[in-house]
Amino acid sequence: MMYDTEYFIRFVNIFAKYLAENKEYLTQLDAAIGDGDHGINMDRGAKAALDRLSSINPKTPGEVMRTVGMALLSSVGGAAGPLYGTVFMRMSIAFRNNDKIDDKGLVSALEQALLGIKGLGKAEVGDKTMVDVWEPVVNFLKENIENGRTLPEICADVVALAEERMKATIPLQARKGRASYLGERSIGHQDPGATSSYYFFKSLCEAIGGE
Amino acid sequence: MLSILILSHSPEIARGLKNMCLQMAPDDVIIEAVGGTKEGNLGIDAELVLNKLQELITNSDGVVILGDIGSTILAAKNALNMLSSPVNVCIADAPLVEGAVIASIEASLGSPLQEVVKKAEETKFVSKL
């Protein structure tokens, strides 16, 4: 399948919708082990992104991602700002000026985004962060797309895997970010960054079907 | 002339620490601070960090960045990545208040960038009692 500018705008709108609907939930998760602002921050960032998209009217997928990335950098406020900002900026760079992105292009952009997150936060799988969702999901996508499958064919599995890995952060002890200051007290809570990452991948999949 | 870029999650800390540094090192160093979100709440505006850093790179011979908690360091690293890792910019791995004060003084004395960073980082081991 080919992913065009409309697809990425649809994706950002769905992601923003999930962040708005789950603003309280994400904030509650963050209040348990962080500073309690992830939901508010992500929702504010996503709304700023939608505002910029409607005023800039981007012409390519790369332009969509760059516009969103800069909006998140400026408006999210917490650590998620640079982290999600990096995700969108890295994907924008990977897309170059192409009008349409194929499955391989999408996966390699997601791989770049993952490298960006890991380079910035130095987190590994098991540290109770967004990497706990990102790494297994990107690896799963890479393996399947390399074997000739397409994202629409494996969407249900992608969403299920993201959800499973998100829930798997509950028993972990945080080793990065503010939650790590809590030591063992961080055990038993789902990681808010892993949760917003689940919405990210869910939105990528749902944007395929149109809205 | 070098510049010092103070980053804090709190706008009050950023403002207050900049004043402290200016009191100790009023001349021969540029001291800038970014703290809080656009709305003035706790957080960091990573786009403003990027713009401020770009401005300091243009207006000085080198920049030492100091931050407090995680998100400020992530914002600084993100800015460095987006500017393709400029050679004359360093993030000092130092406690924010002590590091910024020492870095400001050291820079105002005309020390080179690496020496300023080293002096700031040494404050990690300074005993107060």
- pLDDT tens per residue across span A85-117: 999 999 999 999 999 999 999 999 999 999 999
Instruction: Delimit the domains of chain B by residue range.
Output: 2-125
Does residue A174 carry a pLDDT above 70? Answer: yes
Does residue A211 carry a pLDDT above 50? Answer: no
B99-124, pLDDT tens digit by residue? 999 999 999 999 999 999 999 999 99
Give the Cα-Cα-Cα angle B100, B13, A36 (nearest 5 degrees): 125
B9 assigned to active site: yes
- Which domains are assigned to chain A? 2-209 (1.25.40.340)
Check CB contact under 8 Å for B74 and A120: yes
Q: Which two tokens stand for residue B80?
A: 């460095």
List CB contacts (< 8 A) between A41 and chain B: 43
Average pLDDT over residues A19-30: 97
A102-106, A183-187, A207-211: least confident range: A207-211
Within a 13 Å sphere around the CA of B59, how many CA atoms are in the beta-carbon half?
Answer: 14
Mutate: best of B8, B45, B78, partner A, most A CBs <10 A: B78
How close, in Å, is residue B77 to chain A by CA atoms?
A: 7
CATH architecture for the domain at B2-125: 3-Layer(aba) Sandwich (3.40)
Q: Rounded to two decimals, what is the model's pTM?
A: 0.92
- B89 - beta bridge partners? B63
**Is residue A76 less than 8 Å (CB to CB) from chain B?**
yes
Q: Is A122 helix (H, G, I), strand (E, B) or coil?
A: coil
Does residue B67 carry a pLDDT above 80? Answer: yes
Integer CA distances (angstroms), A112 to A33, A118, A169, B39, B74, in order: 28, 10, 23, 32, 17
Average pLDDT score over chain B: 96
Cβ-in-10-Å burial (0-12, 13-18, 19+) of A24 comes to exposed
**Is residue A37 less than 8 Å (CB to CB) from chain B?**
yes
pLDDT of residue A209: 82
pLDDT of residue A210: 54
Average pLDDT over residues B44-69: 97
Sign of the dihedral through C-alpha B21, B26, B28, B31 = positive
What letter does residue B14 receive in the DSSP assignment? H
Check CB contact under 8 Å for B43 and A78: yes
Check CB contact under 8 Å for B70 and A116: no
**pLDDT confidence band for B70 (50 / 70 / 90):** confident
A141-159, pLDDT tens digit by residue? 999 999 999 999 999 999 9
Q: Give the closest residue to B100 by CA, choosing from B8, B28, B27, B36.
A: B8
Check CB contact under 8 Å for A74 and B42: no
**pLDDT confidence band for B128 (50 / 70 / 90):** confident
